[in-house]
Structure 1
Amino acid sequence: MASWIIQMTVVVLSVFINSSQGKRDTMLYCSACRAIVDELNYSISQVDPKKTINIGSFRLNPDGTIKDKKVPFARSETHLSELLDGVCGSMSDYALHVDPDTQQKQYRRFAPRGNGDTGDFPDFKNFQFDGPEASNVLKFACETIVEELEDDIISLFSKNTKHVVEELCNIVSDYCKGANLTKEEL
């Protein structure tokens, strides 16, 4: 009887461990990664480029001076950390989009931004609005990525890396490995 209980415990634990480490939905996590980059790029672009912040040590040198350095506020670690804290809240502005030609699915922004943005948005008929559950799934994926890759995200944005989507979503995380990126998405 005791060996049967041990065997059942092992089976239950192995099922639990395998299900908790289940494979991530590649399309979902790739879309969330791309959305994070898009939202951060937009937020950074809204900051006055002349605005700076002092970084460095605020200790006095022997000669009575303070060694500090001014960096652009938009790409400072302080600002990027603040942006990361709220970036996943914008995932409700995204919905599942099905490309009419390729039938490829990905989450894309459907909502204009609050500043009178009339950007180039895809036709709404290609979006699937499945209620709050769909945006909650995307928000959870976003929160997972931010939690796992926060240091990498801050590093890439503070260095003003050219192709952040490719770097973060393909190389650092493998979320979009093998996905077809167009020139606009890079």
Structure 2
Amino acid sequence: MASWIVQMTVMVLSVFSSSSQGKRDKVLYCSACKAIVDELNYSISQVDPKKTINVGSFRLNPDGTMTDKKVPLARSEAHLSELLDEVCNSMSDYALHVDPDTQVKQYMRFAPRTSGATGDFPDFKNFQFDGPEASNALKFACETVVEELEDDIISVFSQDLQHVHKELCNRISDYCKDSSHTNEEL
């Protein structure tokens, strides 16, 4: 009798977890993926392109030399991993934005990255500030995306691809594929 109850509990939990994963909010997860790309691109752009890091093996070869090479710090695996550890902390700078013409919803950055730089931001009246719940939901979605795609994110950013949004959020993850809220520069 007890094993039957355990089996039923496991079955119910597995059905619940698979159905809850299937009902992810497309706007939320697509926006989180795009926000990760934007935040990482910005962070990478802030690193001096002349800075390099030694990568490779630090073992001695039979001839007494070491095999290592220098790569740009900004796109090194080590630096990208550090950035990924912190990227979701910036999700509080995002809010749900509704395009006044198309009514397309997506989370967008509303806070400027540097003081006084407000020229690139949409009108605040098109944002929905729903308090910490929406920010927490976006942060959770961001953490989920990072957890699921960490290796892919590092791979895509280390290659310095042209259309990272398309590659990561459409092709690799399908978070934004076939969505109406992917109309911008993807």
TM-score, length of structure 2 as denominator length = 0.89
Distance in 1 separating the partners of 2:45 and 2:104: 29
- Please name the residue that 1:17 is paired with: 14
Q: Mind listing any 5+ residue stretches in structure 2 that lack a counterpart?
A: none
CA 162–56 in structure 1, closer or farther in 2 if over 3 Å, else same: same
- Please name the residue that 1:36 is paired with: 36
CA RMSD of aligned residues (A): 2.1
- Please show how residues 1-186 of structure 1 align to structure 2 within 5 Å: 10=8, 14-21=11-18, 22=20, 23-114=23-114, 116-180=116-180, 181-182=182-183, 185-186=185-186
What code does the residue aligned with 1:169 have? C
Distance in 2 separating the partners of 1:48 and 1:90: 22
Distance in 2 separating the partners of 1:158 and 1:81: 11
More strand by share: 2
Distance in 2 separating the partners of 1:117 and 1:70: 35
Q: Secondary structure at the match of 1:59?
A: strand
Q: Secondary structure at the match of 1:49?
A: coil
What code does the residue aligned with 1:63 have? D
Distance in 2 separating the partners of 1:14 and 1:131: 36
Alpha-carbon distance, 1:117 to partner: 3.2
Distance in 2 separating the partners of 1:111 and 1:73: 27
TM-score, length of structure 1 as denominator length = 0.89
What code does the residue aligned with 2:172 have? V
Distance in 1 separating the partners of 2:164 and 2:108: 17
Distance in 2 separating the partners of 1:97 and 1:70: 42
Distance in 1 separating the partners of 2:155 and 2:119: 28
Equivalences, count: 182
Moved over 6 A (4+): none
Q: Mind listing any 5+ residue stretches in structure 1 that lack a counterpart?
A: none
Alpha-carbon distance, 1:14 to partner: 4.8
Q: Secondary structure at the match of 2:114?
A: coil
